[in-house]
Amino acid sequence: MFDFMRLLGGDRAGATRGRGGARGAQPGVLLQLRLVFYGVLLGLMMPVIRQIDWSALVPPGLKIEWPTGFGIAWPAGHLRVPGGWGWGADLARTEASSAATATAGVAADAGAASRALATAAGVAGAASSAAALASALSGGKPVSARFTICGHAKRIDCLVDGDTFWMAGTKIRIADIDTPETHPPRCAREGRLGEAATVKMQGLLNAGPFTLVPIKRNVDRYGRKLRVVERDGKSLGAELVRHGLARQYGGGKRSPWCGWA
């Protein structure tokens, strides 16, 4: 057996050491035959070796995994060395883990890119709306929007009452009229007139583009933008006056609506 181990290590000289040099070529042939014999013997013994109960040969608590893979398990932990008979399974698990990580990374990158594009689109849209409103407030190009009646939601494009509305998030007071109050009305009649004025102005604003004409004062004491709303050079506020839903207003104290005919 020692000769066989030395042959495996390449020490042929050591295997024939001590036999003299008279039998020159014969030791090489004998060694080859001996190697074949030991190889056949080892092959015949492999099934027996695999069936040996190795747990009876190791200290209690120590477990050796063989031949499914090379590893040692003991009460304090588990050590597995990739390779051996289990190298195929180890390789498959490693590749599957790498593929899953790569897929998750691609999905995360795609999600981040989508969110970034959506954010950029939102910012661009907000910037465009702000620029259009700034131009409109200066009395430039006519603007239009789809207005609703303001409720509890965020106020973007909606009417508070007949003479006050929000456009692109900016509160605007129609400067040339005064309409009945609705938040709250001082009497039932004012409430009815105020609701009618609000609905009428909503229809006028939604009818098409209009122009916001500046006056001497830019804002009132409440921070509202003061503008006259016109279409084709005609005041939309004057339309409410003609229907008895508003009064002309040029400044100063407002007259009460309750009891006014």
Q: What is the pLDDT of residues 190-239, one digit of tens each?
A: 999 999 999 999 999 999 999 999 999 999 999 999 999 999 999 999 99
Give the predicted TM-score (pTM) of the model.
0.51
- pLDDT value at position 41? 83
Residue 186 has pLDDT above 60, yes or no: yes
Residue 51 has pLDDT above 90, yes or no: no
Q: Of the ranges 19-28, 70-79, 97-106, 249-258, which is most confident? A: 249-258
Residue 136 has pLDDT above 50, yes or no: yes
Q: Is the dihedral of CA 45, 47, 53, 59 positive or negative?
A: positive
- pLDDT value at position 193? 94
Q: Using CA atoms, how far apart are residues 189 and 258, in angstroms rounded to an integer?
A: 7
- pLDDT value at position 42? 79
Amino acid sitting at position 259: G
Average pLDDT estimate for 170-182: 94
Question: How does the average pLDDT of the chain come out, rounded?
Answer: 76
Band (pLDDT 50/70/90 cuts) for residue 111 is low
Would you say 176 and 193 are in contact if contact means Cβ atoms under 8 Å apart? no
- pLDDT value at position 187? 92
